[in-house]
Structure 1
Amino acid sequence: MSLADVQEPKNSSGSLTSPENRLTAPMNTSFILSPSRQFSYEDGPVPSLPTPRYVRVRIVATGLCGSDVRIARCGLHPITLGHESAGIVDACGSDVKGLSVGDRVALEPGVGCNTCETCRSGRYNLCESMQFAATPPYNGTLSTFYCLPEECCYKLPSHISFREGALVEPLSIAVHCCGLAGSLQGRSVAVFGAGPIGLLCCAVAQAFGAAKVVVIDAVAPRLSFATDFGADDVYMMEAGFPETNAQKVLEKAGLDAGFDVVIDATGAEPCINCGVAALKRGGVFVQAGLGSPNIAFPIGQICDKEATLKGSFRYGPGDYKLAIQLLESNRIQLDSLITHEFAFSNAEQAFQNVADRVGIKSLIFGPGIDRAFAEGRTEQHTRVSDLPRL
């Protein structure tokens, strides 16, 4: 992906200033993608609370994922990017009951309408009117401030840093995905893809009691990371027929009948076909990765095995709460996933990093934020008064 030159915000005299060093009146600095796929920094007013039940959050850390890069490649609308964020509550509406200024929170970046049939039935992730951060036309979280309803902000455990808090969003995706598979206690699970979502699915499956979790990928360094991250075994995808790869991975895992559960976090046709071939009769196949919208899919095998095929989309009620509980109990630890970190002024480089598939997870610190502050794990060490002036 070719990324354009970054344009830094200008001060009143017209000269360029770094978003980390401005000492002006409070502003909301945002990282913008233009329709011509150019990145720039833009200053705007601090956002007001849309309703009395909203809170305003000072963004401390934001993670990047593949969907951010896909949006950057399209560049169809001017938009603020980013949706995996954590920060500090900066202001509360009059109807907010459970949060206070200074609370450290992870952000759930989608707001459903709460009135449609899917929302009212408890599946708000399927809301057709969902306002999801960095999904056109809605702006994302790569800015100084971001506003959300109280119910979309979750307090971080005292021992969890903002850096890790930014990864609650992808962790919730993994929680949702594994939850769709049903009880994993004592079951065998194959996870295709050793990127952030696949690795988190591996960790969640382990936390949910899976007897064996095998991670499959075509990139050796990522498989090595998966071994260190808790996979019971790994398998390197080879060129050739899906059935051949499936047989080899089953032999390596010591499974004759197949995996009870297969989770595909790649969206790649060879992985999907291999996963279906490696699935046990009567097993569950969960599709989490988004690749080409149209692929050759072995639907006949799904029928022959009377397998259950489920699509997984983001996260739903209870997923964020459970993700936080997994962190609070230390059953899952996220710090090792963060391999690259960038100042807000280097946000474009972070996008290039993800586009080039460098490392596992890249983070961007908010305007005026450095790593030392983002590493803060309690309100005592991350007070609003300690934030850099804007």
Structure 2
Amino acid sequence: MGFVGICTADVQFWSEGKFADMVVKKPIVLGHEASGTVVKVSCGVNHLKAGDKVAIEPVVPRENDEFVRIGRYNLSPTCFQAGFPPDDGAMCRFYTHKANYCYKLPECVCLEEGALVEPLCVALHACQRGRVKVGQKIFICGAGPIGLLCLLVCKAIGVTMTVVCDLCQDRLEKAKCLGATVVLKVDKCTCPMELAQKVKNSLCAMPDICLECTSSDTCIQAGVYAVKPGGVVVLVGMGLATSNVPVTHVTVREVDIRGSYRCTNMWHTAIALMASKKVDVKPLITHRMPLEQGQEAFECVKKGAGIKVLLNCEAQQQCPSLCPQQQCGQQQSQCQTRQCPQHSFF
């Protein structure tokens, strides 16, 4: 394994033993945002070889059921889901996965970026569910990893104006740096109707679509109030089992509320966007920590520090006596004996 991102779902499994309606009933290895380097392939695998860098799609259909046949395998109740009970995930040194769900990364996409292919696919799927189009105005609730990736996807599509709201000023500043037209600071006492009015005022219009990436009641309601008649609210964030939705506003204004769960058939698109630099995910990576510091990394995410925290699962041990370049984390003696993978020219 190379790098594995820590998701909010991972933190909830770790701290509470459950996420949404999924409950941990036995010990489990977490991790579904993963990249790595192929060590070995089984017979019949021709598209990958040892040494290839890959991004790993965590959802693998177990059966060719009706959802798989129509291309919506993310909805199949029998799917293997890496890192979600009862299936083990990728936060480990070595990991075995179905070859057809491992996607080769081009040379210009590094393993760190590869670990963000999965969340980028989630953002792409959410935008597809909302039918985001060129020239639209979009309201994004939440400036966490998924909200910011939705912002980047919207910009790549050609969205005219984007408004992003969040509780955290630092995340809003990141959203502004990534191209958000307007950012709005909210707090836990914010009135949904007031937030919706601020969104309308900032756009001088009602947004076409709300991408709700928090699962907060306030944001779901604000999305319904804010979008124009006939608009769409896409529920991307998960966590709440139930929510209070202003159904009268939904009905009389014909607002569509659509769920968005994981992703399906998005991996080649996501990797192509990264390779072409149409979407740059590197600014979202704020922390890189070795697998041995996993607990510290989870605490970091739980506190809301940074944006995307990656665990480095590569079997390279840090040592105070570093190589002369002070970059690879290998012992000086290893570099001088040509054992260092990053400085083999010594």
State how far apart, in whole Å, the 2-side matches of 1:266 and 1:233 are: 18
The one-letter amino acid paired with 2:202 is K
State how far apart, in whole Å, the 2-side matches of 1:337 and 1:158 are: 20
State how far apart, in whole Å, the 2-side matches of 1:73 and 1:314 are: 22
Q: Which residue of 1 aligns with 2:297?
A: 350
Q: What TM-score results when the alignment is normalised by the length of structure 1?
A: 0.78
Which of 339, 348, 359 matches 2:286? 339
Q: Which residue of 2 aligns with 1:61?
A: 3
Q: Which residue of 1 aligns with 2:245?
A: 297
Q: Does residue 221 of the first structure (1) align with residue 163 of the second (2)?
A: no
* Structure 1 stretches of at least 4 aligned residues deviating more than 4 Å after TM superposition: 370-373, 383-388
Q: Which residue of 2 aligns with 1:236?
A: 185
SS of residue in 1 equivalent to 2:126: helix
Which of 212, 228, 233 matches 1:285? 233
State how far apart, in whole Å, the 1-side matches of 2:183 and 2:244 are: 25
Q: Using a 3 Å threshold, how does the CA distance of structure 1 residues 93 and 314 change in structure 2: closer, same or farther?
A: same
SS of residue in 1 equivalent to 2:90: coil
State how far apart, in whole Å, the 1-side matches of 2:271 and 2:247 are: 36
Q: Which residue of 2 aligns with 1:175?
A: 124
| 1:74 Cα deviation after fit | 3.1
TM alignment of 1:243-282, pairs within 5 A? 243-255=193-205, 258-282=206-230
SS of residue in 2 equivalent to 1:128: coil
State how far apart, in whole Å, the 1-side matches of 2:55 and 2:98 are: 12
Q: Does residue 211 of the first structure (1) align with residue 160 of the second (2)?
A: yes
Which of 225, 234, 254 matches 1:306? 254
SS of residue in 2 equivalent to 1:259: coil
The one-letter amino acid paired with 1:357 is G
Q: Which residue of 2 aligns with 1:197?
A: 146
State how far apart, in whole Å, the 1-side matches of 2:65 and 2:4 are: 30
Aligned residues: 318
**Contact 2:156–2:278 (Cα < 8 Å) also in 1:** yes
| 1:98 Cα deviation after fit | 1.0
SS of residue in 1 equivalent to 2:229: strand
| 1:91 Cα deviation after fit | 0.8
SS of residue in 2 equivalent to 1:180: helix
Q: Which residue of 2 aligns with 1:32?
A: none
The one-letter amino acid paired with 2:142 is G
| 1:385 Cα deviation after fit | 7.5
TM alignment of 1:1-390, pairs within 5 A? 59-75=1-17, 76-238=25-187, 239-255=189-205, 258-317=206-265, 319-369=266-316, 372=328
Q: Using a 3 Å threshold, how does the CA distance of structure 1 residues 135 and 211 change in structure 2: closer, same or farther?
A: same
State how far apart, in whole Å, the 2-side matches of 1:352 and 1:97 are: 41
The one-letter amino acid paired with 2:46 is K
Q: Using a 3 Å threshold, how does the CA distance of structure 1 residues 387 and 322 change in structure 2: closer, same or farther?
A: farther
SS of residue in 2 equivalent to 1:280: coil
| 1:85 Cα deviation after fit | 0.8
SS of residue in 1 equivalent to 2:96: strand
| 1:254 Cα deviation after fit | 2.1
| 1:156 Cα deviation after fit | 1.2
| 1:106 Cα deviation after fit | 0.5
| 1:384 Cα deviation after fit | 12
State how far apart, in whole Å, the 1-side matches of 2:87 and 2:38 are: 21
Per-residue deviation, residues 200-253 of structure 1 (Å, max 9, x unmatched):
001001111111111111211111111011211111125343111111121122
State how far apart, in whole Å, the 2-side matches of 1:314 and 1:269 are: 21
**Which segment is superposed worse, 292-301 or 262-271?**
292-301
In structure 1, runs of 5+ residues without a counterpart are 1-58, 374-382
State how far apart, in whole Å, the 2-side matches of 1:273 and 1:136 are: 31
**Contact 2:63–2:78 (Cα < 8 Å) also in 1:** no
The one-letter amino acid paired with 2:31 is G
**Contact 1:60–1:369 (Cα < 8 Å) also in 2:** no
Q: What TM-score results when the alignment is normalised by the length of structure 2?
A: 0.88
State how far apart, in whole Å, the 1-side matches of 2:70 and 2:316 are: 40
| 1:369 Cα deviation after fit | 3.7
Q: Using a 3 Å threshold, how does the CA distance of structure 1 residues 297 and 90 change in structure 2: closer, same or farther?
A: same
SS of residue in 1 equivalent to 2:128: helix
Identify, as 1 or 2, the structure richer in strand.
Answer: 1
Aligned sequence identity (%): 35
State how far apart, in whole Å, the 1-side matches of 2:190 and 2:300 are: 30
State how far apart, in whole Å, the 2-side matches of 1:344 and 1:149 are: 23
The one-letter amino acid paired with 2:289 is F
Q: CA RMSD in A?
A: 2.0
State how far apart, in whole Å, the 2-side matches of 1:264 and 1:384 are: 45
The one-letter amino acid paired with 1:62 is V
| 1:191 Cα deviation after fit | 0.4
Q: Using a 3 Å threshold, how does the CA distance of structure 1 residues 368 and 209 change in structure 2: closer, same or farther?
A: same
**Contact 1:125–1:315 (Cα < 8 Å) also in 2:** yes
SS of residue in 2 equivalent to 1:146: coil
The one-letter amino acid paired with 2:287 is H
Q: Using a 3 Å threshold, how does the CA distance of structure 1 residues 68 and 387 change in structure 2: closer, same or farther?
A: farther
SS of residue in 1 equivalent to 2:40: strand
SS of residue in 2 equivalent to 1:309: strand
Q: Which residue of 2 aligns with 1:14?
A: none
**Contact 1:132–1:138 (Cα < 8 Å) also in 2:** yes
**Contact 2:211–2:234 (Cα < 8 Å) also in 1:** yes
